[in-house]
Structure 1
């Protein structure tokens, strides 16, 4: 039993397994030679009947949430545009590349036409608004192109800033063999205690002749 989860910073998601996850931070990991070695995510974890707590998962270092394990599987840093509602200015939404909206049966996806690889780390410059546009798709076929300004008019929104959105890809896997931290040690201690008790009882029986 597995469940794929995609989260952006600050986003909360309730999993099918009944566990709630909020992504607090997510970053790339580098070694001493500045080589990329993987990704790490820090999350607030909500389990039924227990207080929320913080945990982290990384490539090859899954987080144990009994009876599950949470794996880090993907990570991306995408160019993004933040749109503000013209009707309710306090409402904003940030769309990253390949995210969009439906309008009259057409799916409009945000696209960036500037230089540089999508999600490339090490490019601190803010992406230019003029390089963003929406590509329309209908029935799997590209059906048009729309500027951010045109999309804003249709949605009653306006672009207020550009930047990047971090997306973390996770996988929650059912693993009944993943005992809660400390539980295995507790079982070993209990087992040793019971063995010692049996030995003492056996010694007493021998000394008393089994009476």
Structure 2
């Protein structure tokens, strides 16, 4: 009987800690959102690094990026790919493929915004929060049912000023890497570091008309993107 009582006690303790972590995460998230919301126009640098899950000491790929926000409009760039959300419209530009995607799907747009952590929270069944000397490490795991998310677990590092410093995304699909001259499939982790928060500097990046031209229901690339292939979803 004592053994069963111990198991029941452990179950309740586990539930209590999970619920406590969820509330703590929501509190941290609310304060983090307030910090960025109070800055009406800002930008910061991002660095994307891809690792094999089995070797976090050796970067396999690395890309620099930038994120900018003014009001409800956001812009980000990762290597050769740009993202723009202007109110309810979203544009993705891939310069290597000379291709452009246009959509009014708000869920798709939200998934591309690294600050929109609310859009990720509902996909996960487990939250854990660990306080450190400089802030908190929050882990979201255990996906709920079928999900379109490309990652199965997410770690978020937030400092004591409630600014996001790092995200680690544990990708769902194994990726191809070259190992001793051969292609191998291995689990991968994408690390995103945030730095250099400063005042917003470039208006052109956030102007939808710099990317597309609309006439009724017709949408086509314009300006320096006029020869790009456009996909509308």
TM-score (norm 1): 0.22
Choose between structure 1 and 2 for higher RCO, CA contacts under 8 A separated by at least 6 residues.
Answer: 1
Larger Rg: 1
- The structure that is helix-richer by fraction is 2
